[in-house]
Amino acid sequence: MSNKIGRNAKCPCASGRKFKHCCFNKSLTDHKIKQSRPKKENNILSKFFKSFHNTDLVATLASLTIYPPNHGKNLRLEYLVFQALSTRNKSEDLVDPDRLKLFLCKHYESHHLEDPPSNLFTENILYTLGNNTVYGGNYEQGAYTLNTLISAIQFNQNLYPKEFIQKTNGTYILILTISDTIASRLGHERNLYGDQEKYGTEIQVPRNISEYKNALFFTNEWINNFCKNFRIIENVISPLCLDIEKIKNNNIEIADNNNPLITKPLAELSNGILVVSPTTILTALIHYTWLLSDKYDCKNILLKEYHKIVRNELVFYSNKIKWKPNIFEFKKNETLPIDNALFKFDKDKFVYLSIIYDEGHNYNRRTPCQVDPLNQMEKIQKLQKENLKLLQHKFKGQKFIEVILYSSIGREYLLMFSQGENCYTYISSVYKFLCWIKSESHDNMSLWYFLDSKEKFLNSFKHIIPNIGFLNYYDLYRKNNSFYISDEK
């Protein structure tokens, strides 16, 4: 298909005129023509937003992110909250919930980049004051990453500078308590599923919207008393707060990695703090921690302790499903971020486990929405293949599962490994692998049976192979311990 605009087609600038009578003869680039529609969209949005009191509008839209039916609709809502923050108006009218819902249904009914959520609506972070309910938002492994970070710091405080411990501790206690208080005010318990499946893609507005808005506001007195009681240093949360007066650029788009709400979920008001993005608190805390570790020159220590906890947890759960460690002298390269282990789980079957670590190289200070460059991937791939050949040579006639896992520090990743020869290969993140182990009671043969059935299932497709994730495949498989779909209702 051609992307060329026909002369008699409607002009993309939304004037209503034909292209040949409008922008055809103007010295505009294709890029500018494409951008004219979002400009009109912003004008419509700005005009609607200026009908309402600015702070009330921001609070209303922010409250929609923590309404269970809106779980998974975060890309649109984060965009709308930012646009509301960047809108300047003098209206004193409070938001009309019915008008808002009609507007959102008409202009923001869905978005193609929003997938059904694979995480929980609320999750749990364990810290000094106990369990803290947090909102998962659009971050699949946010709670796991932050819990691991906290453990890496708290169990080894003597390894880090005093100022680093003081700031992370104060920030964690205050922000996590704020999140937990919001959930408590609304009666949201931890580890809840969202209700998005009942309502489709449309953004829903709760009838008790006032309760949701009020839950997001914390007075200066509340903040000051809390900090005083727990001896938290002054302005500890300033790095996570937006300066509303400085927000002028409204060119942020939906799913824009430069949306400041991702790293700054709070807004300072004259009389307190408004949590403008409760669903990005996890992202903000993780990003803040890595930046702070870099500032105090302890990033490498934190990386080492973080990945050590990940590795120990993997070994623990591998033992739990009765994979028995087996000694083997792997070929090593100390400069590569990879560890190997060998487990025996049946008389003629082994698991060759590899963990690849995010080294934190080229960490983007502006946004946590980034990809690990994996600079040494080719060397890792080569070493991986060499070790597999060594194993297959030593244990001739034995069968292997090659498990390649990635330990993320909060960034995205792209692992490029081909299917191992004469073995089953499973590639995923540590987080998803642990999710699988913890999801139900598995034994030593569970992964083998699943991968064997999956291989036969995929071989039944002559041309198109379904491109879905490991947990989705397993969800389909576990109902019958096969991929056979019954005709019975």
Tokens of 347: 């008389």
Give phi and psi for 403, each to the nearest 5.
Answer: -110, 115
**How large a percentage of the chain has pLDDT more than 70?**
88
CA-based nearest residue to 366, from 290, 254, 268, 266:
290
Exposure string of 409-435, with b = 16+ CB inside 10 Å and e = fewer, is bbbeeebebeebeebbbbbbbbbbbbb
- Provide the pLDDT for residue 231: 94
- Provide the pLDDT for residue 23: 55
Distance CA 398, CA 422 (A): 10
Cα atoms in the Cβ-side hemisphere of radius 13 Å centred on 351: 28
C-alpha dist (Å) from residue 422 to 408, 425, 467: 28, 9, 22
Distance CA 365, CA 373 (A): 15
Pairing of strands 217-219, 130-135: unpaired
Exposure string of 58-76, with b = 16+ CB inside 10 Å and e = fewer, is bbbbbbbbbbbbbbbbbbb
Show the beta-strand stretches assigned E in 251-317.
Answer: 266-269, 272-275
Distance CA 61, CA 48 (A): 13
Is residue 50 classed exposed, middle or buried when 0-12, 13-18 and 19+ CB atoms within 10 A define those classes?
middle
The low-confidence residues of the chain, meaning pLDDT below 70, are 1-41, 248-250, 462-468, 484-489
How many other CB atoms sit within 10 Å of the CB of residue 305?
Answer: 20
Give phi and psi for 89, each to the nearest 5.
Answer: -150, 165
- Provide the pLDDT for residue 30: 40
What are 273-289's pLDDT values in tens digits? 999 999 999 999 999 99
- Provide the pLDDT for residue 289: 98
- Provide the pLDDT for residue 250: 62
Distance CA 343, CA 324 (A): 5
| Alpha helix stretches (DSSP H) within 160-219 | 162-186, 196-199, 209-215
Distance CA 359, CA 375 (A): 10
Distance CA 116, CA 199 (A): 12
Distance CA 155, CA 126 (A): 13
C-alpha dist (Å) from residue 126 to 130, 147, 154, 160, 237: 6, 7, 11, 20, 19
- Provide the pLDDT for residue 25: 47
Distance CA 429, CA 23 (A): 49
Distance CA 378, CA 251 (A): 38
CA-based nearest residue to 415, from 384, 377, 465, 455:
377
Residues facing 279 on adjacent strands: none
C-alpha dist (Å) from residue 9 to 25, 29, 325: 14, 17, 67
C-alpha dist (Å) from residue 369 to 138, 150, 222, 262, 411: 11, 20, 32, 9, 7
- Provide the pLDDT for residue 7: 42
How many other CB atoms sit within 10 Å of the CB of residue 41?
Answer: 14
